Amino acid sequence: MSPNWLPVADALAAMQGQVQALTETETVPLAAALDRVLAQPVYASLNVPGYDNSAMDGYALRAAEAAQPLKVVGEAFAGHPFKGELPAASCVRIMTGAQVPTGADAVVMQENVLRDDADIEVQTTVTAGDNVRLCGSDIASGSVVLNAGQRLTAVHVGLLASLGIAEVKVVRKLRVALFSNGDELVVPGEPLQHDSQIYDSNRFTLTAMLQRLHVDIIDLGHIADDPEALESAFKQAMRSADIVISSAGVSVGDADHTKNTLAKLGSIEFWKIAIKPGKPFAFGRLGDAWFCGLPGNPVAAVVTLDQLVQPMLRRMAGETIKAPLQLTAKAATAIKKRPGRTDFQRGRYTQRDGQLWAEPVGSQSSAVLTSVAQANCFLVLEQDRGAIEAGESITIQPFDQLLT
Ligand SMILES: Nc1nc2c(c(=O)[nH]1)N[C@H]1C(S)=C(S)[C@@H](COP(=O)(O)OP(=O)(O)OC[C@H]3O[C@@H](n4cnc5c(N)ncnc54)[C@H](O)[C@@H]3O)O[C@H]1N2
Ligand code: MOO
């Protein structure tokens, strides 16, 4: 193995260590809060539920009196409570969500009650607290409901609404400039002029993956393999973005100008990672912006954005980072692998007889995007590992939000 290839964990640690979370914030209404990152913790200013209420349609009563006939003295509906205290030897007809009357300490489901005009007979044993949802049992007033750094899901938005919160302070969106590089590239929709042209698929794949991260994308199109054109794209990108991402031109070919341009306008932090695919990944500084140069091979671009750039983007966006979900599976077939790089092979996992099984799918060439389309996970094969036999344990990483 070349000593210059940085292990994946070291690359991730270096990127995480260097970038900082944005400090600018904005306040957004709840309806626009989905997928934004909280800039400060949210405290509950009230109890949820705000009062003891019934979990069932039935009768509110005192558990200690449940064995005797009880007189129905009134009704309680959600939003329309029973007024006053429950008299002795009586009960209140109550609906789900209605406030439990003062004095009552349990609710009996109507299915467990015999009703005869104005009286009921309870047909079951009753304990105080039965079918009562206590005030503050979901959220206690004064408690932290969500921490700063939380990316808001639909359920988080619902929690905030349940507290009466109409707007939240979030970290401003990350600005990501993106361009692809290569004389062979043609924009989809335009005709290919000759045999050695290809469609610029990477810019569309990467844009779509970035959309899942809810960043603002500054699309600079595709740039020719020309140092001057590249320099001007770099300059435009670094003026407008927090992070600049490019595809292709990071290898050692005569038309691979990305690295030199980065060195000229900024600095290269590292280049060449022990990852397969994606080895010629470049990371550096461009003025106030960060730069990630993804390799041109379509699968390498996908893997490096997902595995190396995504955690860094999340950190810059102010998010508290979680390690990706990794599971242990058994290899369903033998798997080709050479020691030297951590492989992210495209695979499929299934569950059979209580056991996860996984195997590579399609071609493992980094030019073959269809294998990613057929896969549902990465087979994460450790750097020092060699060929794997069927039945050996392997680590899999189910595709995350960027790839599903
Ligand atoms: N002598 C060496 N050659 C190569 C090495 C190496 O270490 N030594 N590394 C190989 C690896 S690994 C990769 S990955 C590629 C990376 O190449 P570049 O990032 O410089 O990209 P290009 O050479 O321009 O293109 C590679 C490949 O990808 C296609 N491509 C480029 N852009 C797009 C796009 N926007 N959409 C779709 N496809 C794209 C391009 O046509 C090439 O086929 O270098 C190896 N070579
Ligand atoms: O990164 Mo390259 O895609 O390993 O072939």
Would you state the pLDDT for residue 40? 98
In this structure, which amino acid lies at residue 45? S
Sign of CA dihedral 219, 222, 228, 230: positive
Ligand nearest to the CA of 282: 1
Mean pLDDT of 228-249: 94
Contacts with 49 (C-beta within 8 Å, 6 or more apart), sequence order: 133, 134, 135, 136, 137, 138
Sign of CA dihedral 128, 131, 136, 138: positive
For residues 201 and 206, what is the distance between their CA atoms, to the nearest angstrom? 9
Tens digits of residue pLDDT in 387-399: 999 999 999 999 9
pLDDT band at 224, cuts 50/70/90? very high
Mean pLDDT of 207-214: 98
Q: Is the CB of 258 under 6 A from ligand 1?
A: no
pLDDT band at 1, cuts 50/70/90? very low
- The full DSSP string for 152-178 is P-HHHHHHHHHTT--EEEEEPPPEEEE
Which ligand 2 atom sits closest to the C-alpha of 297? Answer: 3
Contacts with 280 (C-beta within 8 Å, 6 or more apart), sequence order: 250, 251, 252, 271, 272, 295, 300
Reading the block at residue 219, the tokens are 């699309």
Mean pLDDT over each residue of the chain, to the nearest integer: 96
Contacts with 305 (C-beta within 8 Å, 6 or more apart), sequence order: 206, 209, 210, 245, 294, 402
Q: Is the CB of 201 under 6 A from ligand 1?
A: yes
Give me the count of residues in the chain: 404
Pocket residues: Cβ below 6 A from ligand 2: 276-279, 295, 297, 300, 366
Reading the block at residue 106, the tokens are 């349990």
DSSP assignment letter at 279: -
Ligand nearest to the CA of 365: 2
- ipTM beyond 0.85? yes
Would you state the pLDDT for residue 3? 56
Nearest CA to ligand 1 atom 27: 297
Would you state the pLDDT for residue 373? 98
Ligand 2 midpoint to CA 342 (Å): 12
Ligand nearest to the CA of 295: 1
| % of the chain with per-residue pLDDT over 70 | 99
For residues 271 and 65, what is the distance between their CA atoms, to the nearest angstrom? 77
Q: Is the CB of 279 under 6 A from ligand 1?
A: yes
Ligand nearest to the CA of 277: 2
Tens digits of residue pLDDT in 98-136: 999 999 999 999 999 999 989 999 999 999 999 999 999
Mean pLDDT of 336-363: 97
Ligand 1 midpoint to CA 131 (Å): 64
pLDDT band at 298, cuts 50/70/90? very high
Query: What domains sit in the chain, N to C, each tagged with a CATH number?
Result: 8-23+173-316 (3.40.980.10), 25-47+139-171 (3.90.105.10), 53-133 (2.170.190.11), 327-398 (2.40.340.10)
Ligand 2 midpoint to CA 145 (Å): 44
For residues 159 and 152, what is the distance between their CA atoms, to the nearest angstrom? 10
Ligand 2 midpoint to CA 198 (Å): 18
